[in-house]
Amino acid sequence: MEVSPTPTPPALRPWQRLAVRLASVFVLVTLVTVGVVGVLVHQRQSRAVEDTVGTQLLNIARVSALLVDPAAHAEAARVRRADAPAYRRVTKALTAIRDETLLTTPMRTLTDYDRGTRRARIVVTTAEDERPGEAFVVGPEAADAVAWTFEDGVARYTGIYRTRGGTRISAFAPILDARGGTAAVLEVDYPVDFYFDRLRELDTTIALGSLAGVLLALILAVVLARRLTRPVVALTGAAGRVAGGDLSQALAVTSRDEVGQLTRAFNAMVEGLRQREVIRNAFGRYV
């Protein structure tokens, strides 16, 4: 049988190759999966920081409010002097709690809160640069919590918010008067920048792990893609040679999957063509 020139298939560009596409899909899926997991872990840790610190701060505010003498606090609110015995008594109690709980921010009690202007009046404070009777502006993130505590007398804490002094959480607890009403609100703040530094370290670890996962996925994708496409490339070349008249092609079956079945079918087809060619040549001698 005369063998015609084997047709040469057009060269494929890199993005047209099956191996490149399989590797790209594998890496993309891995990258998206790791990214989604990283985002979920970050959000969960952020909520955990907010809930944990907020709950602890709320407990501190509640206990502190219970330890404040209502009569002494009412007298301090009336006289508005830092040297008054009642003021010193309340300040001493708050300072002891602040030192015991290792708080780094001042504690203060507020009254006469105006929700529209977010202004209140300081009754007692542990801050050295604040004085009783001074106006205190509540941040917009804490305005609702302060107003609600004044209205219903329920202690609560805010979410994480940013100020010029850093990132923090605030808790508020009511100080009751003799009739059981809310005479003032105790404010306790806690900076959470340290926790967010740890959270950023976690983000860095997740990013490095993601990069390592992507590199590993790329290596595995290249190996698997080459293992999958190598028999296909061999089949393509052999089919071209058969099309050119070369019926001596026989490919080794290296797998038991669909590619292996395709290789067996190709070998059976070539064997059938070879037998037909032998029969045709044998009968052609007598014609």
**Domains along the chain?**
38-198 (3.30.450.20)
Measure the CA–CA gap between 194 and 231, rounded to whole angstroms: 56
pLDDT at 89: 94
Measure the CA–CA gap between 218 and 24, rounded to whole angstroms: 8
pLDDT at 3: 45
pLDDT at 4: 47
- 156 Cβ partners below 8 Å, 6+ apart? 58, 145, 148, 149, 171, 172
> Cα–Cα distances in Å, from 207 out to 49, 112, 201, 204?
20, 49, 10, 5
Tell me the pTM: 0.63
pLDDT at 37: 81
pLDDT at 27: 77
Q: How many CB atoms lie within 10 A of CB 55?
A: 13
pLDDT along the chain (287 residues), means of 10: 50 65 78 81 81 91 93 93 93 92 91 93 93 92 93 92 83 90 93 78 81 81 76 75 74 73 80 78 63
Measure the CA–CA gap between 160 and 162, rounded to whole angstroms: 7
